[in-house]
Structure 1
Amino acid sequence: MNSEKVALYIVNWLKEYATKANVKGFVVGVSGGIDSAVTSTLCAKTGLPTICVEMPIHQAVSQVTRAQDHIAQLKENYSNVSDVRVDLTESFETFQTAFATSESNALKDLTLANTRARLRMTTLYYIAGLNSSLVAGTGNKIEDFGVGFYTKYGDGGVDVSPIADLVKSEVFALGAVLNVPESIQNAAPTDGLFGDSRTDEDQIGASYDELEIAMQQTKDGVTNTDLSGREKEVFDIYTRLHRNNQHKMNPIPVCEISEDLKN
């Protein structure tokens, strides 16, 4: 991939879209990960007002530090970049207390993780509304169209998706040419939604490099009977998640009523 050309193309695409939409600029949730770092840098390079938003909820110190270092670097290099920090920990705790139970299980933990993502989405849209701006999504191709590794109406609730046609390795390649801080380039990808050290690979059961191969194999018509060992295991993980998360990737189903029924 020619990373320089791809970066320039995305920057021009973002600027043209914002101009046609008659908005001032972009709002990006910055987490300390590679996807949000690349997305916020691309938005900054448009020259349009770009607001980087930190939204910690019991966040690991390392994630907070990476996010703050990245934002400081952007502000130093781009006069159109500003930042907002909204600590959502208290809001999350209030929500959690309203539904407090003594139970603790995987389903509850996942639901609360999704709640964190939805609180952040609401915050981004509030800030975007005040500033006549678009919420720029930070999802990549594997997450958005491969395994559906995002929260519906959480980090999946955005106005534009500038890097959603790039797999993770391509996002990292962009990060290198965009001079994203090395601490972010070297960090293990994590959604940071559980308040612990688990990575995306821990949750999914496969690395992004492995998932990229599985995604290509499905496009090439490969089936699990053609594979063995770890390759087959990852392929099965990919196909299972791709199938189970179609409700995120497909448009919301509409129950269409015929005129015959209405009359």
Structure 2
Amino acid sequence: MSGSIFSFCLLAIGGRELGGDLPVGLMLFFRSLFSLAFISLVIFFIKEKSQITINRLPLHGFRNLVHFAGQYCWFLAMGLLPLAEVFALEFTVPLWTALIAALVLKEKITLRKSAAIVLGISGVLVIVQPGVAMFDTGALVALAAAVFYALAHTAVKSLSSTEKPVAILFYMSVLQLPVALCFALPQWQWPEGIQWLWLVLMGLAALSAHYCIARAMLSTEVTTVVTLDFLRLPLIALIAGLLYQEGVGFSLFVGAALMLAGNLINLAKPVAGKAQQAGKQQAAVSD
């Protein structure tokens, strides 16, 4: 998740640099195009073509459709709402993910997970301080992006049980490319100069971010992964303050502390559970 958070920060910087100069559909198209080129080279050199199967192609298709929809809604909401409110609504993803994972993957919503999610969202609200009049058209679009991302997270968790990360990344690039092209063609324009460099970096960052997420979800439950993702917001805020001179107030550190507390609660092993496990191991040795 550390690798994923770093990659998403780089992706956000690229989006910030290109925002206003290139249409959203065009950015998503070139991102998918460069991602496909990179992942194809990786597959060729590591000779892992056998990992690309069509056994779960329908789920790959569903995952990438909702993921693309989430990306597009998120960028669209940025033009309808203040950035702070978009981020606040985006970080409702763990709530939707926990509910969807409980229904679809039969994961349990424990007291620790509930506390971690509540603390994480509280930290986000402290940092961004969204206004009270949030539920207009822009807010609904941002909420739709959060729901789409939650569906994508849940699909990746299911896919990671049988599919290798390289296959998930390959299908992400292949299936999203034609969809992005349909959105890019009506507003087509060729990138210029340093815009090409940012598009290449965004393609690389997209691959590394989703690779790290796929690996993380292979190791633990999806709700743990998205809870750790809360740390992305204070890091992005700090980077924005350094690169773009955006103000960083005391609320950032208060919110980050709340999110960190939520992460520690979520990752900590119950003391009773350790004692019980140790007792079982001792009994097994005695037997």
TM-score by length of 1: 0.28
- Structure having the higher strand fraction is 1
Instruction: Specify which structure has the higher proportion of helix.
Output: 2
- For normalisation by structure 2, the TM-score amounts to 0.27
